[in-house]
Structure 1
Amino acid sequence: MSDPFAPIKTDQATKSNRIQPQKAIVMPVSDEAPEPPAFHPKLGVPSQCWTYRDAAGEVLGYVCRFDMDGEGKSFRPLCSFQVGEQLKWRWETWPQPRPLYGLDLLAKAPDAPIVIVEGEKAADAARQLLLKHVCISSPGGSNAAKKADWSALIGREVFIWPDADEAGLKFATDVAVCLERVGAASVTVFVPPDDVSKGWDAADALADGWSSEQAEAFALSSEVEDEAEPEAKPRARGGSLLSVAQDLELWHSPQKDAFATVLVNGHNEHWPVESQSFKRWLVGRYYEKTGLAPSTQNLSDALRVFEVRALEQGACHAPFMRTGWQDGESWFDLADENWQAIRISRNGWEVVQNPPVKFIRKQTMSPLPVPEKGYQIEEMRHLINAEEENCKLILGWMVACLWGRSRSYPVLALGGEQGSGKSTMARLLRSITDPCAVSASSLPKDERDLMVMAQNGHVLNFDNVSKMEGWLSNAICRMATGSGFISRKLHTDGDAYWFQGARPVLLNGIPALTERADLAERALSVRLKRIDEVGRQPEELFWQEWEQLKPRMLGALLDALSTAIRNIESVRLDRHPRMADFARLMVAASSGLGWEEDEFLEAYESNRRGTAEAAFEGDPIAVALHEFLMVRQGGESWVGTATELLAELNMIVSDQIRSSRFWPTKVNAFGNAVERAAPLLRQKRIQVTKKATGARRLIYLDVI
């Protein structure tokens, strides 16, 4: 059978004198893509179909299986391509390196051991058997392992479950070589039982009736056999493993997470005890001292001892990610290989080796350049295609992102028509506040995904947002103001997994993203200007210029923070908006940015009024209540139940609005909608009050 994953040869291609439209794969699949075809033009309807997703859960494509009478099975990849100006599905594979099957599961369990099998069917079966592992595969079968992208397994503990045949052994060997190149923490190959048939795999084990206990025992026995080969992996004693790490500084966070501070190349690094980074360091130290590799069991035992020591004997410190505050000084982590950080005080800022604050790192974090002194923030003004007031808001958001004392952050919502450079501007802002290997991501699927994102980055940048669901708007509001999220830890019944804190959030999209009143109150809504063909420059030149400016602009932002520390205690606001801490910070930092004291507040208040007006116009309940009280009632007060008020509004709104999904039909839903509209109506000088009088719950509408 020919390899469907192989590239099309020239002599197999269709000959044509016409110029073929340019074709490029689209990963992840765009929301505008058509529905994928339900059948193959020659092979018919697939018997099975597996969905490939990226780390954020977005669809990358599919692999379909076809069972043909008398011809066996056949596999075909199905991916989305941009062909000319159209999005089309094609029965073609991804370009190399190809994605893995199960990237989304890897991202959700960053410290779980991994099992690699041959084929998607075997991966699905292994997931039912090995509940403590993340089970994945690569596309294309046994001959295509080297064509996959294994970089997601850097620093991970990996096991390979090969098929019981020569092809399976070749697959395991190829995968092991690839994992060694990318830097997996450990690689162990399972040994199939002697009494199984040729080609036996995880799917066969599941069909044979294996339980999860049997599968775990099989995995454990393979590890033991691997350790029993003295030439391949000498066994080491756990006591020796503990003794080589006696100089560790073990400590814990207020949330009772265990950490270790280790000395690497003359600087201190801080890692969670359960992290792959700490495991790699521990194995490396042991090998340096003994020339041996510790067994998996002894490494696990030592880590449990370190965790107990950190929790019971170690000091309690607050771990910081990217920004921090300690002893009246703000800190900013450059995330470079030397673990340097910036100390910002009332007297200025400086680069510090081995900072006293405990900064932790995530694998996706990227470094920032060493900032330079003596430059003004106006040097980057020409790169921001926004009006002067909006430019001040963008710069203010950047300053807030670097402020280590922040317990809340405004949400920056970039809007504008197509061609206004929203995604580029968002990437620029992320690159100077919290650069990341993944500079932008799609919206999370649920609150747990949002929590995982917040635990792995300081700034959350969501690109090309087309709509804002109610639950997500509420979650982003809590993320902006520092509320917590809690969920059940994977593979447990009662253990908690949570996030507590605030994160700067950056949104960009063509539609208005702050139509909900609660999000509008926390947001800076900035509309970018369209860039015409005269003003547009090649993206390569744009980023070259920005990389040259970045150290200077970072220095200018740090100057503003130093000014804020010097002035903030003396700042007194006449009025306190919803994000009062942010407003106070920017008043304190204004002179450091070359602004008059009231310049930023004027821009901020103007933006809040415009955002509130847009939110009001987008809320049909608020608009209807305003019309009812000011027109039907002539500005006179009204009191009644929610049922009576809904009936009054149903009489004045159009049939189109009344039949839309935004108009509540049940009284309890209407009551909740009135509460959400209350802040918007207050801006229109209408006070909404709810009171319980005996058995009746009344709504009062008054002009103030």
Structure 2
Amino acid sequence: MSDPFARIKKDQATKSKRTQPCKVIVNPVPDEAPEPPAFHPKLGVPSYRWTYRDLSGAVLGYICRFDIEGEGKSFRPLCLFRVEKKLRWRWESWPQPRPLYGLDLLANAPDASVVIVEGEKAADAARQLLLQHVCISSSGGSNAAKKADWSALHGRDVVIWPDADEAGEKFAGEVKACLDEVGVASVVVLDVPEDVFKGWDAADALHDGWTCEQADAFVCSVSEAKPSDGEAQEEAESKRPAPRSSLLAAADGIELWHSPQKEAFATLNINGHQEHWAVSSTRFKHWLVGRYYEETGAAVSSQVLSDALRVFEVRAIEQGACYEPFLRTGKTQDASWLDLGDESWRAVCITRDGWEVVDSPPVKFVRKPTMTALPEPCKGQMIEEMRHLINAEDEDYKLIIAWLIASLWGRSNSYPVLALGGEQGSGKSTMARLLRSLSDPCAVAASSLPKDERDLMVMAQNGHVLNFDNVSKMENWLSDAICRMATGSGFISRKLHTDGDAYWFHGSRPVLLNGIPTLTERADLAERALSVRLKRIDEEGRQPEDLFWHEWERLKPGMLGALLDGLSAAIRNIDQVHLERHPRMADFARLMVAASSGLGWEDMEFLEAYESNRRGTIEAVFEGDPVAVAIHEFVMGQHGGENWMGTATELYGELIKLVSDQIRSSRFWPQKVNAFGNAVDRAAPLLRSKRIQVTKKATGSKRLIYLDVI
């Protein structure tokens, strides 16, 4: 028996006096919520932060990872609570049952099979490898599977990809038990490869250089449960591998062809229309297996299927015709084409005389698993009918429409970058979703920035428009890569870490960015960009999202038709357009002058808005470049507007005298002369707009910089 007179411990006394504040989880996070903290009070800034969303895409909270030197990794949930009538972010998890990571993706692809992995990092990696699946996870790792709400998977086909360790096996078992309770259509657990290290998962597969085809083959390799020993011999005899000749014969009638890059494709006749798929795609494999089953009533082994696919690939490249495959937009000699992305594979043909929906387009449009359908366009509408949904100035509205026109133009070899800026509450993400839905609708409407050029290349191969949401910082390498993506360039990488085969993308893509800070700080990106500042939506002007999207769905067919009217006018007028001056995106400017009459604009109306936007953007970039500002002040002020000549060292010494200590110590000011020379090159186009021409010439042993006032 405990002593009733024993001294009360300090922590017990504290607990007895302390009353816990009343707190309630707030889900989803409302617009009026404060910004979540950028760092943990003890663990510091997270190395990763994953956003959890509900089925409609609204934010539910975050999971943050902290990499602590000497201690390893640590995870902390971050959720919004109402504490004593105030909204506060707390480093606490959701109450049970907890939401899944990827609920919004489940809602966007209701018919896709689901792959469950352990952890958010593995889920992100799996999404890059398994484009035709929905890849999700639960919070809390292997010990918290039972705490998640798995009900959203009711009636779905599910594959579990466990980590290669005991914890992964435990996680898979607990998830399978939970799924059996919620009533999934089917659930299977993958057998991890035998030659991988302990703890291997989808993130490691991506790091090892797995391709989408490898990952898909791994997921699709799941076999049914093995028969009992007494039945094994009888079943083996009844399911012998199908002869390769029978599988090849079952595919008679398909058209095999290849692209100029020697990629193999097949054209299939399905339900009265033609579909074009890569021979290596999952869709073609599924069609082939289904066709064989219809012909023979038997299943085909993976080895026979693999052998047949190699034969089809050789036939397509060696014997098939060469065609250009198009993604969403295409062209023929006299027309521009737009793939509607519907189940009937219809497309819109745009000519100088107008446009029409065609049931059997002659161009070879290819599809990606995440592509969704555009509405069937309607005629007789004006583009100004959507003006009330765009919270921007009139000039910026014209630039937004111009970006849409360029995105739908099948003859484009380059596209402007649309950078949507504005303070919190200006509807940047909503506006980006709206524009994406009218140019290249996708099951994943927006994504985070790629981590490297390879990721950017994969994104470009799987979508026509690249939409990056909530961009807070633009790294130099990414700015350069987006410039190349906008004006047309090539990206090449090694297909696998174990061989030297090339994996590449060549072409251009429309790019859409949105974020609070200025996203076009570098001069080269600014020259290729349309910088649009959205106005803040006050409480009186804000409307519920369901009403907004209902209104947009009503207008969308007519607005697409109005854009197509503009494209038809462009085809009709473009040969007669001659610009007095050619900006960096000259083809884009020429296209929009030609399209203006079809949009109901005056001839010079767009050019005035475009030039005004370019001047404003260049001025903002100039003011943000301390080297350009310092050179301008030196030449036009201290040097009296006279020409100057000298070495980089001499110019650097002159500018050091002008700039403040604060600028000299900032990360934007070059600390060495060689870095200063590169900064002068980047500042050259900005200084040219200020009537200062920068020229570098090698004279004898010196490399001189000429600053000429023009």
What TM-score range do you get, normalising by the shorter chain?
0.7 to 0.9
* CA–CA distance in structure 1, aligned partners of residues 540 and 247 of structure 2: 65
Q: Does 1:90 align with 2:92?
A: yes
Q: Corresponding residue for 1:108?
A: 128
Matches within 5 A, 1:72-471: 78-84=76-82, 85-92=87-94, 95-98=98-101, 100-101=117-118, 102-110=122-130, 139-140=142-143, 147=150, 190=191, 203=198, 231=235, 234-237=239-242, 238-471=244-477
Per-residue Cα deviation, 1:421-468 (whole angstroms, up to 9, x for no partner): 211111111110111111112211111111111111111111122221
SS at match of 1:24: coil
Amino acid corresponding to residue 98 of structure 2 in structure 1: P
* CA–CA distance in structure 2, aligned partners of residues 287 and 566 of structure 1: 51
Alpha-carbon shift at residue 377 of structure 1 (Å): 0.6
Match among 473, 495, 502 for residue 496 of structure 1? 502
**Are the equivalent residues in 2 in contact too, given 1:111–1:274 (CA < 8 A)?**
no
Match among 46, 59, 63 for residue 61 of structure 1? 63
Amino acid corresponding to residue 689 of structure 2 in structure 1: Q
SS at match of 1:90: coil
Task: Could you tell me which runs of 5 or more consecutive residues in structure 1 were left unpaired when the two chains were aligned.
Answer: 1-14, 40-48, 65-74, 121-136, 194-200, 207-211, 213-217
**Are the equivalent residues in 2 in contact too, given 1:235–1:292 (CA < 8 A)?**
no
With structure 1 as the length reference, what TM-score do the two structures score?
Answer: 0.80
Per-residue Cα deviation, 1:34-72 (whole angstroms, up to 9, x for no partner): 445879xxxxxxxxx9997999xxx963799xxxxxxxx
* CA–CA distance in structure 2, aligned partners of residues 221 and 335 of structure 1: 29
> Are residues 139 and 260 of structure 1, via their aligned partners in 2, closer, same or farther at CA, if it must alter by over 3 Å?
farther
* CA–CA distance in structure 2, aligned partners of residues 165 and 690 of structure 1: 60
Match among 625, 650, 670 for residue 619 of structure 1? 625
Q: Corresponding residue for 2:113?
A: none
* CA–CA distance in structure 2, aligned partners of residues 155 and 279 of structure 1: 19
* CA–CA distance in structure 2, aligned partners of residues 449 and 148 of structure 1: 32
Amino acid corresponding to residue 26 of structure 2 in structure 1: K
Q: Does 1:589 align with 2:582?
A: no
Q: Corresponding residue for 1:578?
A: 584
Q: Does 1:634 align with 2:674?
A: no
Alpha-carbon shift at residue 175 of structure 1 (Å): 9.5
Larger displacement relative to structure 2 (546-555 or 374-383): 374-383
SS at match of 2:686: helix
Task: Could you tell me which runs of 5 or more consecutive residues in structure 2 were left unpaired when the two chains were aligned.
Answer: 1-17, 54-60, 67-72, 103-116, 202-207, 209-217
Alpha-carbon shift at residue 490 of structure 1 (Å): 3.0
Alpha-carbon shift at residue 287 of structure 1 (Å): 1.3
Per-residue Cα deviation, 1:175-200 (whole angstroms, up to 9, x for no partner): 9989996799xx6865999xxxxxxx
* CA–CA distance in structure 1, aligned partners of residues 580 and 563 of structure 2: 26
Alpha-carbon shift at residue 527 of structure 1 (Å): 1.1
> Are residues 63 and 398 of structure 1, via their aligned partners in 2, closer, same or farther at CA, if it must alter by over 3 Å?
closer
Larger displacement relative to structure 2 (485-494 or 443-452): 485-494
**Are the equivalent residues in 2 in contact too, given 1:98–1:147 (CA < 8 A)?**
no
* CA–CA distance in structure 2, aligned partners of residues 156 and 261 of structure 1: 30
* CA–CA distance in structure 2, aligned partners of residues 219 and 562 of structure 1: 45
**Are the equivalent residues in 2 in contact too, given 1:377–1:557 (CA < 8 A)?**
yes
Larger displacement relative to structure 2 (463-472 or 670-679): 463-472
Amino acid corresponding to residue 241 of structure 2 in structure 1: A
Q: Does 1:546 align with 2:548?
A: no
SS at match of 2:435: helix
Alpha-carbon shift at residue 147 of structure 1 (Å): 2.6
* CA–CA distance in structure 2, aligned partners of residues 165 and 106 of structure 1: 16
Q: Corresponding residue for 1:477?
A: 483
* CA–CA distance in structure 2, aligned partners of residues 554 and 520 of structure 1: 28
Match among 524, 529, 541 for residue 523 of structure 1? 529
Alpha-carbon shift at residue 223 of structure 1 (Å): 6.7
Per-residue Cα deviation, 1:108-163 (whole angstroms, up to 9, x for no partner): 334899999x999xxxxxxxxxxxxxxxx985578689939889x98999899897
> Are residues 283 and 31 of structure 1, via their aligned partners in 2, closer, same or farther at CA, if it must alter by over 3 Å?
farther
**Are the equivalent residues in 2 in contact too, given 1:489–1:497 (CA < 8 A)?**
yes
Alpha-carbon shift at residue 300 of structure 1 (Å): 1.0
Alpha-carbon shift at residue 98 of structure 1 (Å): 4.7
Alpha-carbon shift at residue 585 of structure 1 (Å): 0.3
Alpha-carbon shift at residue 239 of structure 1 (Å): 2.2
* CA–CA distance in structure 2, aligned partners of residues 567 and 584 of structure 1: 10
**Are the equivalent residues in 2 in contact too, given 1:34–1:88 (CA < 8 A)?**
no
Per-residue Cα deviation, 1:154-174 (whole angstroms, up to 9, x for no partner): 899989989799979966966
* CA–CA distance in structure 2, aligned partners of residues 220 and 342 of structure 1: 35
Alpha-carbon shift at residue 372 of structure 1 (Å): 0.4
> Are residues 168 and 493 of structure 1, via their aligned partners in 2, closer, same or farther at CA, if it must alter by over 3 Å?
same
> Are residues 166 and 257 of structure 1, via their aligned partners in 2, closer, same or farther at CA, if it must alter by over 3 Å?
closer
Q: Corresponding residue for 1:20?
A: 23
Per-residue Cα deviation, 1:285-326 (whole angstroms, up to 9, x for no partner): 111112221111111111111111111111111111111111
Alpha-carbon shift at residue 87 of structure 1 (Å): 2.9
> Are residues 229 and 556 of structure 1, via their aligned partners in 2, closer, same or farther at CA, if it must alter by over 3 Å?
farther
Alpha-carbon shift at residue 648 of structure 1 (Å): 0.5
Pairwise CA RMSD = 4.2
Per-residue Cα deviation, 1:236-255 (whole angstroms, up to 9, x for no partner): 32222111011111111111
Amino acid corresponding to residue 90 of structure 1 in structure 2: E
Identity of aligned residues (%): 61
Q: Does 1:651 align with 2:653?
A: no
**Are the equivalent residues in 1 in contact too, given 2:163–2:169 (CA < 8 A)?**
no
Aligned residues: 629
Amino acid corresponding to residue 617 of structure 1 in structure 2: E
